[in-house]
Amino acid sequence: MNDERNFLGTEPLGKLLRKLAIPAITAQLINMLYNLVDRIYIGHIPNEGALALTGLGVCMPIILIISAFAALVGNGGAPRASIFMGKGDIDTAENILGNCFSLQIVLSVVLTAILLIWNETFLLAFGASENTIKYATDYMNIYAIGTIFVQLTLGMNAFITAQGFAKIGMISVIIGAVSNIILDPIFIFALDMGVKGAALATVISQALSCFFVLFFLFGKQTILKLKLKNSNIKLSIILPCLALGLATFIMQASESIISIAFNSSLLKYGGDIAVGAMTILSSVMQFAMLPLAGIGQGAQPIISYNFGAKNKERVIGAFKLLLKYSLIYSVTLWLIIMIAPKLFASMFTQDLALILFTKDALRIYCAALFMFGIQISCQMAFTSIGNAKASIIVAVTRKFILLLPLIFIMPRIITSNQTTAVYLAEPIADFIAVTFTMILFKKQFKESLLLLE
């Protein structure tokens, strides 16, 4: 591979990580911004904004699961493609790209059929009422038709970033975000389509992003090209990708389960104000995770490529930089939250009682946030070197073995303040999970590096 295309193996690590991470972080923040703007538009629909917004909220678990399937394929296949690029095996890397592309089309067809047939059943199970089910089904019936665009945009964009083209990946997100922000008011208000208009705007925006992503991957600028000859799905190629992507799938798909568990437990012990605070806490945590995810996405192609190239020093150097930047961010944000929690609570509500309740809850819920730089760095490193087993173990341990049971166990242990006990489940799970991850990482990473000697 010529020097121009070998930049992942030659460019100074600090400069390279900044070059790849900044566009990834920007893309994450833009994506969050346009989701928030989407909700704001829907919330301002005359006479029915509140119910429409609630209807959209009920759709979110399904939307998260659709995105999780895209991550299952894309976030599993992209690191493996990077590793083979590092080995100089472009043919295998392109085979992975082609197989993942075909599988995402198959998954899109299956998911679309399931959603169109059973979406009302799912929505009622996720909390839709007689008042909100109409808005929820109106949104999902249209959104389901655009599932293929969501799958291909998210999944194939991972392969663009994995090649080191972070700016191109960012542009694809910007295209969707800007289109959605422009189209939303046109369809929702000008054409008086309401929630259906919001869904249509989202589908069209995702389609535009999808066309841009595919245009790039079929074009001349990309290193890995989509080719018809690589479209036949082979189990020997696709199964290792799915195994590697399973950890990300579990993390994303489980968010809805964790959310339901928190809300049901908090409603029991703290009432509506505790559930309202949880909405703010989860929003803060979600926003906090975006830059960490962006830093990780920037480091992934560097670690994967150099692992494939058996460049041990650059693998270690890239991980140390990933850990350094992630820790600086997580510790800084933790300090700000501990010092000024009221600032974050005030961003989401003007209700004084809710602000005062949330600021105390936020300190408890985010007590272990400073450690998250370690957790994300180790998880991303496992994925980057193709260690599917460790990635899955880490994801399952934090979410299902620790956090989910602790949400229900902690109020039975701390009976004096059971609402606080529920919030404590998060930092306790995080502390144990990070400790476990560090121990596992030290052993597994050392063994993986021996393969490079």
Other residues' Cβ atoms within 10 Å of the Cβ of residue 404? 18
pLDDT band at residue 348 under the 50/70/90 scheme: low
Tell me the mean pLDDT in the region 150-160. Answer: 92
CA distance 439 to 326: 18
pLDDT in tens, 174-227: 999 889 989 999 999 989 898 899 999 999 999 999 999 999 999 989 999 999
Q: Within 13 Å and on the Cβ side, how many CA atoms surround 428?
A: 15
pLDDT band at residue 56 under the 50/70/90 scheme: confident
1 pLDDT above the threshold of 60: no
pLDDT in tens, 290-308: 888 889 989 999 999 999 9
How confident is the model at residue 343, as a pLDDT?
A: 87
pLDDT in tens, 423-450: 999 999 999 999 999 999 999 988 888 8
135 pLDDT above the threshold of 60: yes
How confident is the model at residue 428, as a pLDDT?
A: 96
More confident: 353 or 165: 165
Tell me the mean pLDDT in the region 119-138. Answer: 82
CA distance 258 to 254: 6
Least confident of 39-53, 214-228, 334-348, 430-444: 39-53
How confident is the model at residue 349, as a pLDDT?
A: 66
- HEC string of 274-328 equals HHHHHHHHHHHHHHHHHHHHHHHHHHHHHHHHHHHCCCHHHHHHHHHHHHHHHHH
pLDDT band at residue 252 under the 50/70/90 scheme: confident
Which residue from 372, 401, 396, 394 is spatially nearest to 445, judged by alpha carbons? 394
Q: CB–CB of 12/313 below 8 Å? A: no
3 pLDDT above the threshold of 60: no
65 pLDDT above the threshold of 70: yes
Other residues' Cβ atoms within 10 Å of the Cβ of residue 294? 23
277 pLDDT above the threshold of 90: no
pLDDT band at residue 30 under the 50/70/90 scheme: confident
What is the share, in percent, of the chain residues with pLDDT greater than 90?
A: 53
Tell me the mean pLDDT in the region 30-57. Answer: 74
Write down the mean pLDDT value for the chain: 88
CA distance 332 to 289: 13
Among all chains, which residue has been given the structure tokens 């990300």? 248
4 pLDDT above the threshold of 60: no
pLDDT in tens, 233-245: 999 999 999 999 9
pLDDT in tens, 78-114: 999 999 999 999 999 999 999 999 999 999 999 999 9
How confident is the model at residue 284, as a pLDDT?
A: 79
CA distance 56 to 35: 11
How confident is the model at residue 124, as a pLDDT?
A: 83
Q: CB–CB of 193/204 below 8 Å? A: no
42 pLDDT above the threshold of 70: yes
Q: Identify the DSSP state of 83.
A: H
pLDDT in tens, 357-416: 889 999 999 999 999 999 999 999 999 998 988 988 988 898 889 999 999 999 999 999
Other residues' Cβ atoms within 10 Å of the Cβ of residue 49? 15
How confident is the model at residue 214, as a pLDDT?
A: 95
How confident is the model at residue 333, as a pLDDT?
A: 92
Listed in sequence order, the residues at least 6 apart from 234 whose beta carbon sits closer than 8 Å to its beta carbon are: 95, 99
166 pLDDT above the threshold of 60: yes
How confident is the model at residue 127, as a pLDDT?
A: 67
